[in-house]
Structure 1
């Protein structure tokens, strides 16, 4: 029998994702110098950046929510603002205010900390509704209207917000309209025993070294915008668009839910699944990509009926049930 030297055909992407994948890997390596575990949170935050979406990070105090967001911002050569939300915080403290200049006899607009590229809002549910509402326009439209003048924000503009789900005293729950503007709600749990030992070893070895000092920048603003454009070009078949629509539509007709998800949720799943495909080296979306992002996209956009809530159901459980009942496209 005659031997052949022919090699099997290798899969090749129609979109070059090599640089994007390398950048994602470098970001993970930089974060790995300080952050141990929390792989799902890191993946979702990176996807959030690539999909140009905001993320709400929820977890008990001390599980590295704020630190991870700060370090992720440090891996990018962009402007960074950290805003600590407090009960006495006013909208002007975030957006800025017009100040009268005595020399010119004119009002000058002094920009607030929201005029940045990556904004970390710590304990977002600590500020009252009027301050939370100040974020509506900037998160949805990437602009701020002050004194009738539209101020366009520089790209990228990403909001990472943290909140503590346990302590409710002195907090103001985010309204549905606010929650809907977040691409993901990321739930952060405790580390394993092994991970916690590694955390302790890392702190012991670093001694007085500040964590942010050992993380190096990987991307600049132009590269982020470039990769966000690449994500938009990721291929998604029509049958997968119908799959996404079926999942979201099911939340509106589900007996376990009082409130279903809006079309904004469908768009969020599509964009997030494209980014999920890209960081996994594919230029096309699969049903698995959609399944992986469906829970963090939907968990904060749906409301359980009082009966189901009393029975101990969770939004996450309902989303998983919906995914199981809908036929996977072939």
Structure 2
């Protein structure tokens, strides 16, 4: 009997795990954005001393996980599972990082939804009694993602105004069976939504329906209303996707305008930094959550947050074959105050 299941897509955790530490790393461009003082490590070199962008991303992820473990006052041997993913073929960044960490590893691919996916599954592992300490982590890198999904950097292609800038960043969170919060209390798992958009340079519009679908499902399953949250943060819809998602949710009877923002809009100053529609990538919601949102919750300026990381499940193969873009969004409720 699924006694923890509520509604169609949500589980209410009986023993909500605590997020006992986080760490965040970003690249030079992200370090010049409005959230710069929230990030733990700001790289001065996108290559991070490595010979390729891909190896730089893996190193960034690995060192961010290590920093989160150290901040939790734990050792690597204390972490029972690592749940992590990225955008690269066969999860190269996460797999190569896991190779050096010697932690039992679940590789996850949810595209840019992977941070919420890893938090969701990590929380379920702990609440289910399968672990006491779990690491949830995600990364992306502008240069590695560009040449896998779009064009070689050397071409210098002009991007349309609907395009977003893949965040060079990583975030890691340590979840524990015991702790003083913030806690993950609810998990709403998304469905794959595809409304036929094929333009890989308009990811916000492609992902917005999935974000809205998960958000509405969360409200219907839990009975929560937008005003119950201090912040509802999507992962990387950018300016265009945020507007679309807000309209869809409003048409379903929920006004989220007062508490709704997007990590892709928070991490960059679009006008000054020329990021067009905003930020994107696995590292977008990962670094913004593990940097900005978590620290604001620790200070009590935010007490209840709905994090909805959003992902476009296209590949370089599907794009070349002219396929549309399937999308997904996963949501976690993170709260400082548990009501029994």
Give the alignment's TM-score, normalised by structure 1. Answer: 0.28
Which one has the largest radius of gyration?
A: 1
Higher helix residue share: 1
Give the alignment's TM-score, normalised by structure 2. Answer: 0.28
